[in-house]
Every structure is written in C-alpha cells, then in structure tokens.
Amino acid sequence: MHPDPLTTLMNKAKTLPHPTKTPTDKIHLIFPASPNGVRKALADTLEKLRFLELSIEETGTVELVLAEVMNNITEHAYADYPDGMIDLQITPTSRGLYCKVSDSGKPMPKGAAPLGSRALLDCELNDLPEGGFGWFLIRDLARDLEYSRVAGKNLLNFRIATNQPDLLAN
C-alpha cells in the first residue's frame, strides 16, 4: 500500500535540516565607505547570495536597499571622515535577509532614522527634487527597521523580505 501524500511529505520533512538560529551562510563584509567601496561590496554581496537563486526583482530590491543604506553612510555619517569603514552582515533565513549595518560616523540627525517621506512632485519642473529619495526607498522596501547608537557606532538592523520557503536552515 502506498503511503498517503501527507505522510510522504511529513517523512520527507523529517529528513530536512531543522530550522536553527545559528547562521551557517552568514555574509560579513567590511569595506571603505566610498562610492566605489559600496559598489564593490554590492557586487560581492550579490555574488555570495547567488545560492539563494533570488528572482531578478528580489535581487534588485536587495541591491537597492543596501545601496541606499550604504550611500547614506558614505555621504552623511562619514561626510567629514574620508577614511570611514562600513561593516555589513547579512543572515539569509526563510523570512528573508536579516541585515546589520554599522559605521563609526556621525549619529543620525535627532538620534533617529529619517522617516523617508515620499518627495512631493506636484511642482514646476525646476523645483523637482534631485535627492531625498533614499530613505523613502529604504522605508518602503525594508522591514523591521531599527536604528541605535551604541558606543560611538551607528547600528541599523532591518530585514529584506524574500521568498525563500525552502530555506529552513540559516
């Protein structure tokens, strides 16, 4: 007699690795806070994430959020520090990519991450904004965002939701 589909599925599930909080494929990069440093870090990160087989859209979201976060650090936190470094850690899980970004630059204005309101475009062409889109995109695309200032460092934690139902183990 053949086992019913549910039993088959449950037996199969038993053979899969148990979900664990211990990351085995964590990515950790430390790199210079400069436009080219960020560019290389993004390329390295996407290369290391290839095993996840993210869709083009998901890959684009990951690259965009990380780019905006790290460009902000380069341009604002390290505005007066040309030799600043960025520490990036990414832990892939079934709920998406948990990202930790830290730097030793200036704290966020008023001690909080910007709200990132959508720029108003109902204006004359010459008044259209050329910046200020970064935090809007981060807030729109990232989840569970938390900022803290600890021991002279900025710490930004957030999650980028990706569709990884098969990724049981971290």
Residues that bind other proteins (CB under 8 A): 35-36, 38-39, 56-57, 59-61, 63-64, 67-68, 71, 74-75, 118-119, 121, 125-126, 128-131, 133-134, 136-137, 140-141
Q: Which lies closer to other proteins via its Cβ, residue 143 or residue 149?
A: 143
Pairwise CA distance, residues 16 & 124, whole Å: 58
CB nearer other proteins, residue 39 or residue 100 = 39
Which C-beta is closer to other proteins: that of 61 or that of 93? 61
Provide the minimum distance between the beta carbon of 40 and other proteins in the complex, in angstroms, as a whole number: 10
Which of 158, 157, 147, 67 has the alpha carbon at shortest distance from 107? 147
The least distance separating other proteins from the CB of residue 114, rounded to whole angstroms, comes to 13
Closest by Cα among 116, 115, 99, 104 to 149: 104
Minimum separation from the CB atom of position 137 to other proteins (A): 6
Q: How far apart are CA 77 and CA 103, in angstroms?
A: 8
Per-residue tokens: 31: 């790199």
Q: What order of strands is seen across the sheet that includes strand 27-32?
A: 27-32, 85-93, 96-103, 153-160, 143-150
Closest separation in Å from C-beta 111 to other proteins: 23
